[in-house]
Chains A and B, each alone.
Chain A
Amino acid sequence: MYNFEFSNPKTIENATKALSSEDAQALGGGQTLLPTMKQRLASAEVLVSLSGISEMVGVSQSDGTVSIGGATTHAEVARQSREAYPALAQLAGKIGDPAVRNRGTIGGSLANNDPAACYPAGALASGATIQTNKREIQADEFFRGMFETALDEGEIITSVTFPVPEVANYQKFEQPASRFALVGVFVAKTSGGVRVAVTGASNNGVYRWREAEAALSTDFSASAIDGMSGDPSDMIEDLHGSPAYRAHLVGVLTRRAVSSCS
């Protein structure tokens, strides 16, 4: 990888300053960015590490919500949100492998918005609020397409707040080599209705499956969406699966998630 200046701020304020210089790039756990830089698909003049910012690490609960610092690793989310939000802990505990989970962070994953990442589905289905160093962004406004988010230059995710649903479940059909989701579906049932978020399937990244949400909000059972499948017209085609296969998996995994909620 090309060399860079390295900045290791201890506060969000100093990170914001470091990121204001031209061609600065935030570094979370580095589990995506470092391999990308090695391949010279990405480079930066200044790399600003967020892992030393203690105010961005940790999991806290209050009043039906779980808040997670942006620099909290997947392993810590899996450990610390197990009781407060089991479906989210289960999602975090199945990302990558144990060593990757000890480095990769929730903020890094959401900011990258990989079309097959797990966290975007969890955040979108839960209706999470993404707190940055500049503002709050609702999950519905945050994800803008494959590897695209509402984040501006120099904007970093400082924490993510999840309203804890009545029940929730995440089903991931794992691509066994990468351990990314070939398709993943997160179902969350709240007092305001059911939300279903799909990752791994669409060329536009994570999305809400509105037809299933409408059917499940009336009748929260797998049979309510019997025979339904995703719309394959804009789904990912690669050597692991065709659009039709992914569309089929969307239906299967949603039914499994609903069944696992009861």
Chain B
Amino acid sequence: MPTVTMNINGRQMSANVENRTLLVAALREDLNLTGTHVGCDTSQCGACLVHVNGKAVKSCTMLAVEADGADVETIEGQANADGSLNVIQQAFQDHHGLQCGFCTPGMVMSAAALLKENPKPTEAEIRNHLEGNICRCTGYQGIVNAIMAASGQSVAMAAE
């Protein structure tokens, strides 16, 4: 079986996988990084969203062998160095951006990708960016509020 080596959250990690192994399966089952979730397994829901070479991708729709040599960021790498929640994670907690929490890893990674490209998004831009992330609990308003707050903008603005 091929060996795939990735730099995941700043650490070199390797796994022996089949060619058909999906990136999300390699992360969860071979490397025990179970923070990345499998929701629909059909690239609709975004629960499996991670960053590969700085780009948000759905890890259920990419082969692990395609990520060989890549830099990968997952939800496990998002917390601050001291273990405290980073600004996006904290905003999700503060603004009721989650209920059951299943979609949250993908939501946080998607939000991180957005804020990297667009540090002060409008509410419309946030909603547009989240088209590929499905949440069945919150009705999205809490998530949108959290991303507004994480980008240092007034949350009242998002509620208008």
Complex alpha-carbon distance, A100 and B49, angstroms: 10
User: Nearest-CB distance from B67 to chain A (Å)?
Assistant: 11
Q: List 6 A-B contacts (CB under 8 A).
A: A6-B19, A6-B63, A47-B19, A97-B133, A100-B43, A102-B55
Q: What residues on B are CB-neighbors of A30 within 8 Å?
A: 61-63, 66
A35 near B19 with CB under 8 A, answer no
- Least CB separation from B21: chain A residue: A3
Q: What residues on B are CB-neighbors of A102 within 8 Å?
A: 55-57
Complex partner residue of A5 from B19, B113, B129, CB under 8 angstroms: B19
Main secondary structure of the interface of B (DSSP, over half): mixed
Complex alpha-carbon distance, A187 and B133, angstroms: 31
A3 near B43 with CB under 8 A, answer no
* Contact A1-B43, Cβ < 8 Å, known A98-B113, A98-B132: no
Complex alpha-carbon distance, A49 and B19, angstroms: 12
Residues of chain B touching chain A, judged by Cβ–Cβ distance below 8 Å, are 2, 18-20, 22, 41-44, 46, 49, 55-58, 61-63, 65-66, 110, 113-114, 129, 131-133
Q: What residues on B are CB-neighbors of A122 within 8 Å?
A: none
- Least CB separation from A51: chain B residue: B66
Q: Interface residue tally of chain A, by bracket?
A: 20 to 34
* Contact A98-B66, Cβ < 8 Å, known A4-B20, A30-B61, A47-B19: no
A99 near B46 with CB under 8 A, answer yes
Complex alpha-carbon distance, A102 and B44, angstroms: 14
A98 near B110 with CB under 8 A, answer yes
Could you mark each residue 30-64 of chain A with 1 if its beta carbon is under 8 Å from any beta carbon of chain B, else 0? Answer: 11001101100000000101010000000000000
Q: What residues on A are CB-neighbors of B18 within 8 Å?
A: 3
* Contact A99-B19, Cβ < 8 Å, known A30-B63, A35-B61: no
